[in-house]
Amino acid sequence: MSNLRDIAMSVKAWPFEEARRVLKRYEQKPPEKGYVLFETGYGPSGLPHIGTFGEVARTTMVMRAFRLISDIPTKLICFSDDLDGMRKIPGNVPNAEGLQEHLQKPLTSVPDPFGKYESFGHHNNAMLRRFLDTFGFEYEFYSATEFYRSGQFDKILLRAAEKYDAIMEVMLASLREERRKTYSIFLPIHPQTGRVLYVPIKSVNADEGTITFDDEDGTEMTLPVTGGNVKLQWKPDFGARWAALGVDFEMYGKDHSTNTPIYDKICRILGHPAPEHFTYELFLDESGQKISKTSGNGVSIDEWLTYASTESLAYFMYQKPKTAKRMHFDVIPKAVDEYHQQLNAYEGQDETAQLNNPVFHIHGHNVPNSDMVVSFSMLLNLAAVANAEEKDQLWGFIKRYAPEADPETHPGLDKSAGFAVRYYNDFVKPQKTYRQPSELEREALLDLRSQFAEYDGPLDPEALQTIVFGCGRDRFDPLRDWFKAIYEVLLGASQGPRFGGFVALYGVEDTVKLIDDALSGKFLSS
């Protein structure tokens, strides 16, 4: 372990870089609270989405890296901002009309439109916990409602009253003039209506720990800042939470990055060092627009898991978190294949390479073996040629190519075959477009057909690829035009796998028939 720890102190994988920054905070002495705290936040106004998965997965990767380089205990908190007032009624809930009268009430005071939990906030929190548990994350769940009402936040709230002017100075500098006139860091919760009030504060009494304000009807009221009677506006809340909990690390999207200095200043004003933070780039849809849970563009968790494994999604989340990435359905096959390539590489790597390998950051020291004797992209092409409706159609070809494989001994491959059929029918099949070959392409394909018809060697991908290469080498410049022609004429696609590998899987005789059908125009008329 000590040797591995030494290696981990210098590897370039981004979770280790972040972990080393966190460790540097405690070079002189360990944390007084007894552990290093990693935090993720969640706004429970809707259901968990793919960004939630990404944030928790990436934070877990940093925490796992930290555990390798340090013996200081760690803790991951998922904090739900469920004391926030419901500003609008979600469009995707039942009995929405019954929620109108509960606008601006904390989410934990709004009735559950699904009728299953004591409030809408409790419902969404339960969905979040189920979501996180499904993926096996290690975390502790914190509810803002409980945090405020139980007194856990009282010390910091009293400190915020004491440092009110200093915190207001930070906030007012970031606001437009009109907003400054009414802004306060404290939001009272009306004792009668239960609503979160966005009203000016007339005075703050630090000695008494109270605020005075006029409610919406003009009635002057005084409330203690403690005991869940008020909550902080979201930016001060961010910094105050860091201070109250002693957060050491939190990551968030680029859209938060301009607020980071505000969060940090408030945390320091309240008497605690600001945590280390990591800003990740946002995901884009196929047209380059930012993914939004309200607009529904991009890929949801459920959609990704319809076509690929959780691990492939974790792999995608690991890759270049500071680079904006398109997150659409066409990224899934590449993520699956690259994940399995890294699995296959892991066992033969030295310790430095293993710690830099994404699969270590997904699985820790329990990296599984890949049973994918056929790549996912190859399965997709096989499904396309076979017009597969069920995964069993693929297994006939797989077993001929790899007789040792079956669904019981290769469960990952079996699942992937099912995913491939589903992906093919939903995305590939509607886009299939065959074309006629040019005279030169026809000549090359006839040469390829002739050589395959005479071939009596083993189903060796490299040997078959050599034949494919030879048929195009003297005819096409650049050579990629030859392979493009193969894909477009035979497969109805603009790109595909190494064709020798495909022939080995599909079968030489079947490939000869495939060429015959394509050259006869059969696919053009179907």
Residues 326 and 402 in one domain: no
For residue 194, is it within any domain? no
* pLDDT reported for residue 93: 84
CATH of the domain at 23: 3.40.50.620
pLDDT value of residue 309: 94
Tokens of 412: 């990952």
Lowest mean pLDDT among 44-58, 225-239, 255-269, 433-447: 44-58
Show the tokens assigned to 492. 């109805």
Retrieve residue 483's tokens: 């392979």
Average pLDDT of span 178-187: 93
Rounded Cα distance, 445 and 449, in Å: 6
pLDDT at res. 428: 85
Among candidate residues 328, 363, 398, the one where a domain is terminated: 363
Does residue 80 lie within any of the structural domains? Answer: yes
**Is 338 in the same domain as 456?**
no
The parent domain of residue 78 ranges over 2-150
Q: 244 pLDDT exceeds 90?
A: yes
Residue 184 lies in a domain: no
Within a 10 A sphere around the Cβ of 389, how many other Cβ atoms?
A: 11
Average of per-residue pLDDT across 460-487 = 95
Pairing of strands 186-188, 325-326: unpaired
Lowest mean pLDDT among 129-133, 203-207, 248-252, 467-471: 129-133
Count how many domains the chain has. 4
Can you give the CATH number for the domain in which 489 is found? Answer: 1.10.10
Does 456 map to a domain?
A: yes
How far is Cα 102 from Cα 107, in angstroms, rounded to an integer?
9
* 109, 133, 150 - which closes a domain: 150
Nearest to 461 by CA among 400, 386, 401, 398: 401
Taking the model in full, what pTM does it have? 0.90
* Residue 331 domain flag: yes
Mean pLDDT, residues 154-165 taken together: 98
**Residues 384, 332 within the same domain:** no
Query: Which tokens hold the place of 310?
Result: 């959780």
Mean pLDDT on 89-102: 85
The reply to whether 230 falls in a domain is no
Examine the pLDDT at 495 and tell me if it is beyond 90.
no
Mean pLDDT of 488-492: 93
Percent of the chain topping pLDDT 90 = 79
Whether 509 maps to a domain, the answer reads yes
Question: Are residues 464 and 354 both part of a single domain?
Answer: no
Q: Is residue 239 part of a domain?
A: no
Kindly state whether residues 387 and 516 are assigned to the same domain: no
Q: Is the pLDDT of residue 111 over 50?
A: yes
pLDDT score of 147: 95
Lowest mean pLDDT among 108-122, 233-247, 278-292: 278-292
Which H/E stretch holds residue 64?
helix 50-69
What residues pair up with 189 in beta bridges, in sequence order? 196
Which pLDDT belongs to residue 287? 62
Q: How far apart are CA 188 and CA 200, in angstroms?
A: 10
- Are 390 and 450 found together in one domain? no
Classify 204 as helix, strand or coil: strand
- Whether pLDDT at 293 is above 60: no
Q: For residues 240 and 163, what is the distance between their CA atoms, to the nearest angstrom? A: 12
My answer on whether 416 and 318 are in the same domain is no
pLDDT band with cut points at 50, 70 and 90 for residue 67: very high
Say if residue 425 is in the same domain as residue 445. Answer: no
Q: What percent of the chain has pLDDT over 70?
A: 96
The pLDDT confidence band at residue 290, using thresholds 50, 70 and 90, is low
Same domain? For 415 and 504 the reply is: no
Whether the Cβ atoms of residue 382 and residue 393 lie closer than 8 Å to each other: no
Indicate whether 369 pLDDT > 80: yes
512 lies in the same domain as 415: no
Q: Name the pLDDT band for 103 (thresholds 50, 70, 90).
A: very high
How does residue 431 score in pLDDT terms, banded at 50, 70 and 90? Answer: confident
In the predicted model, is pLDDT for residue 292 greater than 90?
no
Averaged pLDDT of the chain: 92
- pLDDT tens-place string over residues 5-16: 999 999 999 999
Confidence of residue 329 (pLDDT cuts 50, 70, 90): confident
| pLDDT for 294 beyond 50 | no
* 75, 76, 82, 85: CA torsion to nearest 10: 110
> Same structural domain for residues 402 and 358?
no
Q: Read off the pLDDT band of 386 (50, 70, 90).
A: confident
Task: Tell me, yes or no, whether 14 and 138 share the same domain.
Answer: yes
Tokens describing residue 196: 């979160």
Confidence of residue 89 (pLDDT cuts 50, 70, 90): confident
